């Protein structure tokens, strides 16, 4: 791992899960036309971007390893999502093609995607947030040293490790980030 240059300012970022955080979850989505934004996502991302946050999508896409979709199809879905979210600009979009049955350093809860983004973009991970709907998203952020916000699909779900915050929806998650870093 290259040495961090502490003479340069380190950036802060928000890492965002894709499915059921930014867009409606369609298992193994391979059709860009099926992408549907969740309520409040575009406005919330614009608020974060205007406040100086770098934005990253980090998503597990095990359908590739399972043969349900291709890298090109996942990239097309990600591209459509980014198009629908304009004028929001993402600094990076990362995905892990690995299945849960494979050893992986990138599949959440492993922190590989966040660590790669941190190295590439000089991010200070303790100043960053990971936002997602699954306990694996919370664990990924925790494993990378980020603060976390969990937007559970089922409020009865239990997360281990516990998230820094729990939000009822994306709008509340954005409010938490902005209020804690004002």
Residue 105 falls within a domain, yes or no? yes
Residue 7 falls within a domain, yes or no? no
Residue 4 falls within a domain, yes or no? no
Residue 2 falls within a domain, yes or no? no
137 is catalytic: no
**Residue of 5, 19, 98, 137 marked active site:** 19
Stretch 82-96: mean pLDDT: 98
Q: What is the pTM (predicted TM-score) of this model?
A: 0.93
CATH value at residue 91: 3.40.50.1000
Residue 22 falls within a domain, yes or no? yes
Give the domain extent around 167: 13-180
**Is residue 3's pLDDT more than 60?**
no
Are the C-beta atoms of residues 118 and 125 closer than 8 Å to each other?
Answer: yes
Residue 5 falls within a domain, yes or no? no
19 is catalytic: yes
pLDDT (tens digit per residue) in 63-74: 999 999 999 999
Domain count, the chain: 1
pLDDT (tens digit per residue) in 14-30: 999 999 999 999 999 99
Q: What is the pLDDT of residue 10?
A: 79
């Amino acid at each position: 791992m290259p040495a961090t240059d502490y003479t340069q300012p380190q950036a802060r970022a928000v890492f965002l899960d894709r499915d059921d955080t930014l867009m409606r979850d369609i298992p193994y989505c391979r059709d860009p036309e099926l992408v549907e934004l969740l309520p409040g996502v575009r406005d919330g991302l614009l608020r974060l971007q205007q406040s100086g946050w770098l934005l990253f999508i980090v998503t597990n896409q095990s359908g590739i390893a399972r043969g349900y979709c291709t890298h090109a199809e996942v990239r097309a879905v990600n591209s459509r999502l980014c198009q629908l979210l304009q004028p929001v600009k993402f600094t990076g979009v990362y995905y892990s093609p690995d299945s849960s049955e494979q050893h992986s350093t990138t599949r959440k809860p492993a922190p590989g995607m966040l660590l790669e983004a941190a190295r590439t973009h000089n991010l200070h991970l303790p100043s960053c947030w990971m936002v997602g709907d699954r306990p694996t998203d919370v664990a990924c952020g925790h494993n990378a040293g980020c603060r976390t916000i969990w937007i559970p699909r089922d409020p009865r779900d239990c997360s281990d490790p516990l998230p820094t915050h729990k939000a009822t929806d994306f709008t509340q998650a954005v409010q938490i980030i902005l209020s804690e870093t004002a």
